[in-house]
Structure 1
Amino acid sequence: MKKISRLALGLAGLVGLAAITGVQAEEAKTPVAGGTLNMIAQPEPPILMVGLNTQGPTLYVGGQIYQSLLTYGTGLEVLPSLAKAWDVSEDGLTYTFTLQDNVKWHDGQPFTAEDVVFTADKFLREAHPRWRYIANTYVESIASPAPGKVVFQLKKPFSAFLYAFELSSFPVVPKHIYEGTDYRTNPANQTPIGTGPFKLEEWKRGSYIHLVKNEDYWKPGQPYLDELYFRIIPDAASRAVAFEKGAVDVLRGGDVEGFAVRRLAKLDGVETTTAGWEMYSPVVFLQMNTRKAPLDEKRVRQAVMHALDREFIVKNVFFGLGKPATSPVASTTRFHSQDVAAYPFDMAKAKALLDEAGVKPAEHTVRLMPIPYGSQWDRLAEYVKQQVEQLGFKVSIQGVDPGGWSQALSEWDFDMTFNFTYQYGDPALGVARHYLSANIIKGTPFGNNQGYSNPKVDELLLAGASAVSAEDAAKAYAEAQKILTEEVALGWLYEMHNVTISREKVRNLVTTGIGLNEAMDEVWLAQ
């Protein structure tokens, strides 16, 4: 795979992301086998089964256990994974995948095309909101006409289809373990079986997750590392100390506070990069439950947006590691439009909107549920609470653990919460799922949980996904963005920038556009 340069944080880094300046090319050396890589799982994931949970920590650890058909480069080019080749018909309706040879599951059973068919047509169609939508809307049939071949026949063109096979969107699961079972209660969810370079050895809750080398991995001679440890360290300051003292080799975005990123990046023998997020380009938003008064009134949602200073949030809560968001589509991805409703920080405008709506804030108590990913999110909650209370509302903060947050959001039991959406290279995959009426489905925290519904937006999003030309797609997505921002379907806050910090000895750590969620079969430790 293509190697990437690593970026260093310089002295100018005291202002945030603009700090990432220096470039240091990785030395070309022959990989050395052996060794242990220590990382952090923050917060501790509720489960490692990627097909049932796509929260960040689950993907980070589960990405070493499960694999998909494809992966994607830092330029979003399509690359092989469990599929070694693929072919698309001229009419864009038939996608044929040729699978890798001699792949085995961690329990020794052979990986076959039937596993892929089962994953796509049964497991993910039931358990995965993004794939369910894609399969139900676009896929006519999924079959294996010959050993090692899988054919997806589409009902109509879907230009984003080749981007639908990233790990969190399409983790292939073993048919022999899940067929005929209740997927969500299957005991294998606690002892995951995948095809990846590492397999679960031990999970000591509250302490570490230990993965060991898959000796039967399908890439000869790989992985190079013997074992991976994902340390569970709840306190951000302690995580920074663990890295500084050498107990941890890698920090990903969110593992430590923004001010600690600047300090740790200056240590001798340390490298940093912002690469590895190209596929995701995460956008952070405030999610307001539109089923509940007074948030069912768009002018109230507009008032909340005017009450939030997004520049302040980026600079002071997240230490400059991002930029204010203006749209559901990240400015770094295709089809972003600037022709949208704007919400500059304006408390007077916010209060005027509430008066116009006839809403008396003092009569309402709003429950705000922070995403449980660390103290910076708690600070964000405190800031939002302060600003919304200035409008006259009563606000109560409800702290939950990752499992509780996921369950509450999945069951629509919230007033306001935070989340961030991965773009997945195309609005049809990472953006539309949060706004399509058809995706108002209980059971997942990553769908249209706020209950937003607008038939015109549905029509535009579907038109963008099915467009034959990029121009037609851009037109449809631009109109959709204009409506979504005017109606405040979500409260977009900022585009997240993540910095990965690692020891110089860690080689080939970030090689693709999915970064640290990529299978670490090529990672090795220099002596």
Structure 2
Amino acid sequence: MKTRLSLLAAAAGLFCAGAVGAIAQEAPPVKGGALNMIAQPEPPMLMVGLNTQGPTLYVGGQIYQSLLTYGTDLKPLPSLAKSWVVSDDGLTYTFTLQDNVKWHDGKPFSADDVVFTADKFLREAHPRWRLIATTYVDSITSPAPNQVVFKLKKPFSAFLHAFELSSFPIIPKHLYDGTDYRTNPANQTPIGTGPFKLKEWKRGSYIHLVRNEDYWKPGKPYLDELYFRIIPDSASRAVAFEKGTVDVLRGGDVEGFEVRRLIKLPEVENTTSGWENYAPLVFMQMNQRSMPFSDKRVRQAIMHAIDREFIVKNVFFGLGKVATGPFASTTLYYTPDVPAYPFDLPKAKKILADAGIKPADYTIRLMPLPYGAAWDRMSEYVKQQIEQLGFKVVIQGVDAGGWSQKLADFDFDLTFNFTYQYGDPALGVARHYLSNNIIKGTPYGNNQNYVNPKVDELFGLAAGAVSKDVAAKAYTEAQKIIVDEVALGWLYEMQNVTINRKKVKNLVRTGIGLNESMDEVWISK
């Protein structure tokens, strides 16, 4: 009990320390200097339109931008769109773009780039936008060089929340139109509108970005350079921060026990702010295309076989909360009124026995999420628990790029994932359960092959509802069905801590945190 209480107290201390330092600003901004961070693991690419893994967003967020960003209150804020108007019937969205924006290669940015991005590039390459565009968007036009108009087929209450960086990164038409997007050489030399440009990527060592001198915000960015260091070992990352080699640690950069130690260092502050728009939730994906996972009773048994409290407290050192289902408890339309799966090995074994399922007949390939030692430990624990049911489990390790590819190709039995909820379940949650989002080649849709027409109907009803009461009723019913059928194996809601030296100012300013353009970040002398 003492260990449990100390872990929870440490976590509570982190969270209370939270929001203070991130917004403090004692003096006018100072121009110049380099900010050192960590890209963990090393991203497979920086082209956000083709890869939305966390490390890609972290680095790519300084290169690419979207029409909007979002505050910690989840309200939309200007980015490449300086203003927007929504028609009374909720079917027409008109965005007016910022003036004098250029791509990093000097070409002018215009509404044509936005239309190309929305109507061509992302329709093909982006699972979330494809789903939105196919289901709701009737037309995308540019009546003027600085204006884009989206007309919808039917109301979509979440539409104004669909323009965050990873959901809608704007792509240069002049480099991608008419090409094979995935093999385009520009993927290796990304060109965006953001405050920083790629100068050098020394694989296995660092990614170096430099100030965009033609940035559309006058006088910004304040910093001259950003370095994203590649440091594979978690202990070495902690040492690098302690010695001053790096200035910022992002959630997941170091182990939970290191977080507790590092936040106590002098001239260091921490915050849990900056994740409001994402609310990441960790789950298991069990491929339902064949046995054993095509039988929901197997999925139910596995949920009972895993002690999720143990995972949160002992693998991730209290930095999280056990999940009850597909919606994070901090997000819209969450309900706790769903079937529960308490840790109960005898019950798990009985479920399998009553179903006549012989676990020894099956070998399960478990593919860890390649994001560090904690995820490896969780894989070992889950393997151990599933083997107690009688299944044979083989761990198949891959790097970040390989994991994404195998998930996209449906070449897995069991893996882990955490995905972002994007402020509204119609954007971040529904994509994992809608049967029309089972699309080979994209890693962040319904990759487990869950199909239930009633759930499709309920998500559609909720997304198009004008009344919040109607949406809430539909989402509540959907959650109950999904949890009963264990469409995914929900584990826990992540709690991420950003740690930085106090000399780094304005680091976390919005609900997308460190993925936000760092054009207002500066370093005090």
Fold-level similarity (TM above 0.5): yes
TM-fit CA distance, 1:19 = 2.1
Alignment of 1:13-92 (within 5 A): 15-20=9-14, 21-22=16-17, 23-24=20-21, 26-92=24-90
The DSSP-based 3-state class of the residue aligned with 2:210 is strand
Work out whether residues 15 and 320 of structure 1, in 8 Å CA contact, stay in contact via their aligned partners in 2.
no
Deviations 1:108-140 (CA, angstroms, capped at 9, x unpaired): 000000000000000000000000000000000
CA distance in 2, matches of 1:353, 1:195: 55
Amino acid at match of 1:277: W
Name the counterpart of 2:458.
460
CA distance in 2, matches of 1:322, 1:14: 10
Amino acid at match of 1:84: K
CA distance in 2, matches of 1:466, 1:341: 26
Alignment of 1:408-423 (within 5 A): 408-423=406-421
CA distance in 1, matches of 2:155, 2:439: 25
TM-fit CA distance, 1:156 = 0.2
Deviations 1:234-253 (CA, angstroms, capped at 9, x unpaired): 00000000000000000000
Alignment of 1:152-171 (within 5 A): 152-171=150-169
Work out whether residues 7 and 313 of structure 2, in 8 Å CA contact, stay in contact via their aligned partners in 1.
no
Deviations 1:90-118 (CA, angstroms, capped at 9, x unpaired): 00000000000000000000000000000
The DSSP-based 3-state class of the residue aligned with 1:105 is coil
- Within the candidate set 413, 433, 436, 1:435 is matched to 433
Work out whether residues 436 and 453 of structure 1, in 8 Å CA contact, stay in contact via their aligned partners in 2.
yes
Amino acid at match of 2:264: K
CA distance in 2, matches of 1:16, 1:182: 50
Name the counterpart of 2:236.
238
Name the counterpart of 1:445.
443
Amino acid at match of 1:28: E
Name the counterpart of 1:502.
500
Work out whether residues 15 and 319 of structure 1, in 8 Å CA contact, stay in contact via their aligned partners in 2.
no
TM-fit CA distance, 1:13 = 6.3
Amino acid at match of 1:17: A
Amino acid at match of 1:89: S
Name the counterpart of 1:319.
317
- Within the candidate set 167, 172, 175, 2:173 is matched to 175
TM-fit CA distance, 1:12 = 6.4
Deviations 1:379-421 (CA, angstroms, capped at 9, x unpaired): 0000000000000101010010001101110000100000011
Name the counterpart of 1:265.
263
Work out whether residues 16 and 321 of structure 1, in 8 Å CA contact, stay in contact via their aligned partners in 2.
no
Name the counterpart of 1:387.
385
CA distance in 2, matches of 1:431, 1:167: 17
Work out whether residues 12 and 18 of structure 1, in 8 Å CA contact, stay in contact via their aligned partners in 2.
no
Work out whether residues 85 and 98 of structure 1, in 8 Å CA contact, stay in contact via their aligned partners in 2.
yes
How large is the RMSD of aligned CA atoms in angstroms?
A: 1.0
Name the counterpart of 1:150.
148
TM-fit CA distance, 1:339 = 1.4
Amino acid at match of 1:130: R
TM-score (norm 1): 0.97
CA distance in 2, matches of 1:413, 1:82: 38
CA distance in 2, matches of 1:151, 1:40: 38
The DSSP-based 3-state class of the residue aligned with 1:19 is helix
Q: Is 2:118 the partner of 1:120?
A: yes
Deviations 1:244-298 (CA, angstroms, capped at 9, x unpaired): 0000000000000000000000000000000000000000001100012011000
Work out whether residues 13 and 19 of structure 1, in 8 Å CA contact, stay in contact via their aligned partners in 2.
no
CA distance in 2, matches of 1:12, 1:455: 46
Name the counterpart of 1:8.
none
Work out whether residues 25 and 506 of structure 2, in 8 Å CA contact, stay in contact via their aligned partners in 1.
no
The DSSP-based 3-state class of the residue aligned with 2:149 is strand
CA distance in 2, matches of 1:472, 1:29: 49
- Within the candidate set 248, 251, 258, 1:250 is matched to 248
Work out whether residues 97 and 147 of structure 2, in 8 Å CA contact, stay in contact via their aligned partners in 1.
yes
Q: Is 2:467 the partner of 1:469?
A: yes
Identical positions, percent: 77
The DSSP-based 3-state class of the residue aligned with 1:145 is strand
Structure 2: runs of 5+ lacking an equivalent: none
CA distance in 1, matches of 2:138, 2:397: 43
- Within the candidate set 266, 284, 287, 1:286 is matched to 284
The DSSP-based 3-state class of the residue aligned with 1:460 is helix
The DSSP-based 3-state class of the residue aligned with 2:143 is coil
CA distance in 1, matches of 2:282, 2:397: 19
The DSSP-based 3-state class of the residue aligned with 1:184 is helix
CA distance in 2, matches of 1:522, 1:275: 17
CA distance in 2, matches of 1:147, 1:182: 26
- Within the candidate set 82, 97, 113, 2:95 is matched to 97
Amino acid at match of 2:237: R
Name the counterpart of 1:4.
none
CA distance in 1, matches of 2:440, 2:119: 20
CA distance in 2, matches of 1:244, 1:28: 24
CA distance in 1, matches of 2:361, 2:145: 65
Amino acid at match of 1:392: G
Work out whether residues 308 and 345 of structure 1, in 8 Å CA contact, stay in contact via their aligned partners in 2.
yes
TM-fit CA distance, 1:502 = 0.1
TM-score (norm 2): 0.98
Deviations 1:25-60 (CA, angstroms, capped at 9, x unpaired): 613310000000000000000000000000000000
Deviations 1:447-501 (CA, angstroms, capped at 9, x unpaired): 1000000000000001110001110000000000000000000000000000000
Aligned residue pairs, count? 517
Work out whether residues 65 and 195 of structure 1, in 8 Å CA contact, stay in contact via their aligned partners in 2.
yes
TM-fit CA distance, 1:338 = 1.3
TM-fit CA distance, 1:444 = 1.4
Amino acid at match of 2:194: G
Name the counterpart of 1:205.
203
